[in-house]
């Protein structure tokens, strides 16, 4: 088990099928950083309480909206042009790196918030992912289930 959220996120995201599932959910409005945080909390046995879900969402939303998503949008906008322009491709890679660093910063903030919550409160109670995606209207439940399967095998 990874002690810190960043290490957990990297190792989980690298598992077969997780990246594709996360990207599908992201396209539908889910926050992948929140999902990975929820998976980390589940693994640690932290009980999902409504006030904890709200606290995580309130912390993540402005950072995602004001920092991560603008970087992602620029990176996406430059995709086609960067295939024909080496200088733009290099700049796009820098934007991609900044986007990843912004996500790492968000995960660090989420971990700091959740650090004080008791671990081993619950066993095999998998509610975090559903709680953190409740705002996502058209969520791909197959992708969510795929993520759930990978997490429970950790």
pLDDT value of residue 112: 97
Q: For 133, list phi and psi in degrees, rounded to 5.
A: -110, 10
Q: How confident is residue 144, by pLDDT bands cut at 50, 70 and 90?
A: confident
- What's the chain's average pLDDT? 89
> Is the pTM value of this prediction over 0.75?
yes
Q: Is the pLDDT of residue 124 over 90?
A: no
Q: Is the pLDDT of residue 1 over 60?
A: no
What whole-number distance in Å separates Cα of residue 87 and Cα of residue 38?
Answer: 38
Cα–Cα separations (whole angstroms), residue 68 to 95, 100, 137, 144, 149 = 10, 8, 21, 22, 27
Look up residue 95 and give its two tokens: 């934007």
Look up residue 143 and give its two tokens: 């992708």
Average pLDDT over residues 126-134: 76
State which H helix or E strand residue 31 sits in.
none
3-61: pLDDT as tens digits: 899 999 999 999 988 888 888 888 888 899 999 999 999 889 999 999 999 999 999 99
Residue 125 DSSP one-character state:
-
Q: How confident is residue 83, by pLDDT bands cut at 50, 70 and 90?
A: very high
pLDDT value of residue 146: 76
Question: Which is it for the CA torsion 13, 17, 23, 26, positive or negative?
Answer: negative
């Amino acid at each position: 088990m990874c002690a810190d959220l960043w290490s957990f996120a990297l190792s989980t995201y690298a598992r077969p099928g997780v990246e594709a599932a996360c990207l599908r959910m992201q396209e539908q409005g889910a926050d992948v950083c929140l999902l990975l945080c929820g998976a980390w909390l589940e693994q640690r046995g932290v009980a999902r309480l409504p006030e904890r879900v709200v606290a995580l969402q309130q912390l993540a939303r402005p950072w995602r909206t004001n920092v991560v998503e603008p970087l992602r949008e620029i990176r996406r906008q430059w995709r086609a042009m960067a295939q024909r322009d080496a200088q733009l491709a290099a700049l796009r890679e820098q934007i991609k790196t900044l986007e990843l660093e912004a996500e790492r910063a968000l995960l660090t903030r989420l971990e700091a918030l959740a650090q004080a919550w008791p671990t081993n409160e619950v066993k095999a109670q998998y509610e975090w992912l559903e709680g953190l995606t409740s705002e996502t209207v058209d969520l791909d439940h197959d992708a969510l289930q795929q993520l759930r399967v990978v997490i429970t095998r950790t």
